[in-house]
Chain A
Amino acid sequence: MDYQNILTTCTYCGCGCNFFLEVLDGKLVGTIPCKTSPVNEGKLCIKGWNVHQFVQSENRLTHPMIRKNGVLEKVSWDEAFDYTASRLSEIKAEKGSDAIGFLTSAKVTNEENYLLQKFARAGVGTNNIDHCARL
């Protein structure tokens, strides 16, 4: 039996509470609030207490998919990466950089937001990048 708890930050609201995720043999089993966190001082709301539940939901997407003849089919990562990169290149070549847009997210990390805007600006060459801060 391998038990660990890992300190992290809640993914739901802008409070940013800190808690430990309890991991038993590679599976999330619970959430323990962090008493020393300056943000939540050992408290969590109902969403935080249950945050480990959605992670291992059966409904998670587990494979990349590409639409073929109208339906989404499972493909390998290599195929998904190559296809996405080449379709974006074609659109850029035919219609120009500003024919491509990006929606980034308040749900992913700073590092991921940074990379997507870097790809938009330096890779594709467009400032068409926005996210749902307004919503």
Chain B
Amino acid sequence: MTNGVAELEGSDAIFIIGSNTATSHPLVATRIFRAIENGAKVLVADPRKNQIAQFAHLYVRHKPGTDVALLNGMMKVILDRGLADRAFIDANTEGFTEFKTLIDQVSLEDCAAITGVPVSQIEELAQIYGKADRGSIVYCMGITQHTNGVNNVKSLANLAMVTGNIGREGTGVNPLRGQNNVQGACDMGGLPNVFPGYQPVTLGAASKKFADAWGKDTLPTNIGLTIPEMFSAIEKDKMQGLWIMGENPVVSDPDADHVKKALEDIEFLVVQDIFMTPTARLADVVLPGASFAEKDGTFANTERRVMRVRKAIDPVGESKADWEIIQEISTRFGLSMAYAGPSEIFDEIARLTPSYSGISYDRLEGDGIQWPCPTPAHPGTPYLHKDGHFTRGKGLFHAVEYKGPAEVVDEAYPFWMTTGRVYAHYHTGTMTRNSAALDREVSEGFLEINPADAAALDILDGQKICVASRRGEIETRIMITDRVEKGVVFMPFHFEEANVNKLTNPAYDPIAKIPELKVCAVSLTKV
């Protein structure tokens, strides 16, 4: 997030798009409810009428995958009605002219036709967000899990910049991170193109710095493979070994049958986890890691706040903290590691990662610290881009044209399928489904369908149905609800026995390589 979670309470307008906030990030939703009490207007755009939509000043239901059309329509209104912040644009941004040329050609009627949102509602969204003194944008996987996810994010940045809603308290473009330490995994270089602190592996200076620190002459400078690319490499017999730590791609990845096949075929698979997940069942070596309660360490939350994880009990059975497992294998492989504990590892991180350099375990005894924190005396950074100073100098506008989703409905697959979470569960359910209280709340997968569609198919609430896409089919029970509109169905992705990711489309964004989990075409038949 560019801004802190608590700052939301002071926003005048909060535009939530593609985030089921009340379910997926309950304690962010709390701040949004307080903002409403403080007089903020909340705007929600989502194909599914989720919980937070019920509290919104205005809820609009756009068709899955049409975010850019909706946002371009809003920006058209903002430019036409003089709601743009020209002073901010002139002082702090580049690329505005090209962006404006594109927006000038946008027709609101076209946007309405593409998105299914009436022109009057597009206007109202634009008026409320555009007039706010402190406007905040909140988004989640509903924006990123598309073949045009990067364009969606660029459009949101355009919207914030055109109205000067960035670099001040209570404003910003705020992605909510899905899993608890996604921010940390990215910060720590768990990506094929960057070292810790987003220092490019292709950059000579960065490569030399890390090589020196790690006692190597050189490090590889070619960008590595992303997850979908690794699965293709396995298929083409170009990758023989894979070590998976704490992930369950057999359930979480699109086109799950295909992923399973790749993991069955690979020569050597190591899975390190706390439960026997469907992925671990395919492994050649299973390494039992320790849960967060059994080890020391740090997490970075969605607002870049680095916080301590503390050991409460000893590892269960013979399991071991994941850092100890890596250290042992690395040493036996030939790269010696002899850290006395996580705090020593953290000190090495701080030495090599500029945004973490001022942080140490001693300083994390209090409330945690939001990076960037460059020196031991620095208090941390609640919000980024202060006074319009962007990381790259000036904020860059991108002219983004609307492009439809990779797969569209047709006669054979007439329903739009979209996926998400339910309140009691988390990700592939590995942890939550092993909690008695949470399993009692929601113990089975389901498919949400509009009453009109259910009537046309002649099915009743709770009945079983077969759901098929071009990639596979599954059976699940239906739940009749007007949370989804006619022609759209929704399934949560926590349940391996009704794994919606057997159906989803692995087509991915060309830049971010994020698969289009949020939109695919399916058919429904009574069983």
Report which A residues bind B (CB closer than 8 A): 4, 6-18, 21, 23, 26-28, 36-40, 43-47, 49-57, 59-67, 72, 77, 80-89, 91, 94-95, 97-119, 121-135
Residues of the B chain whose Cβ atoms lie less than 8 Å from the Cβ of A12 = 180, 426, 431-432
Q: Which 4 A-B pairs have the closest CB atoms?
A: A62-B317, A16-B301, A109-B297, A127-B224
Q: A8-B292, A8-B309 known; A80 and B181 CB under 8 Å?
A: no
Interface string of B291-335 (1 = CB under 8 A from A): 111110111111001111111111011111111011111101111
A90 to chain B, nearest CB (A): 9
- 30 A-B pairs (CB sep. < 8 Å): A11-B299, A13-B180, A14-B301, A15-B26, A46-B437, A54-B431, A55-B294, A56-B316, A60-B275, A60-B288, A60-B291, A64-B288, A77-B320, A81-B329, A88-B241, A88-B243, A100-B241, A100-B242, A101-B242, A105-B181, A106-B185, A109-B184, A110-B300, A112-B322, A117-B190, A122-B211, A122-B216, A127-B192, A128-B225, A135-B145
B45 to chain A, nearest CB (A): 21
Q: A6-B310, A15-B27, A85-B329 are in contact. List 19 more A-B contacts (CB 8 A).
A: A8-B292, A9-B180, A9-B299, A14-B176, A44-B27, A47-B424, A53-B437, A54-B431, A55-B294, A60-B319, A62-B318, A80-B287, A89-B333, A104-B185, A110-B349, A116-B326, A123-B333, A127-B193, A134-B144
A18 to chain B, nearest CB (A): 7
Interchain CB contact (< 8 A) of A64 among B26, B28, B318, B322: B318
- Determine if B404 is an interface residue (Cβ-Cβ < 8 Å): no
Residues of the B chain whose Cβ atoms lie less than 8 Å from the Cβ of A14 = 25, 176-183, 301-302
Asked if B288 and A45 sit within 8 Å, CB to CB, the answer is no
Interface residues on B, range: 35 or more
- Determine if B203 is an interface residue (Cβ-Cβ < 8 Å): no
Asked if B240 and A91 sit within 8 Å, CB to CB, the answer is yes
- Determine if B273 is an interface residue (Cβ-Cβ < 8 Å): yes
Residue in A23, A56, A86, A132 with the greatest tally of chain B CB atoms within 10 Å: A132
Q: A17-B27, A64-B287 known; A103 and B270 CB under 8 Å?
A: no
Measured CA separation A102–B464 after assembly (Å): 39
Measured CA separation A88–B268 after assembly (Å): 8
Residues of the B chain whose Cβ atoms lie less than 8 Å from the Cβ of A99 = 238-241
Residue of B nearest to A104 (CB): B190
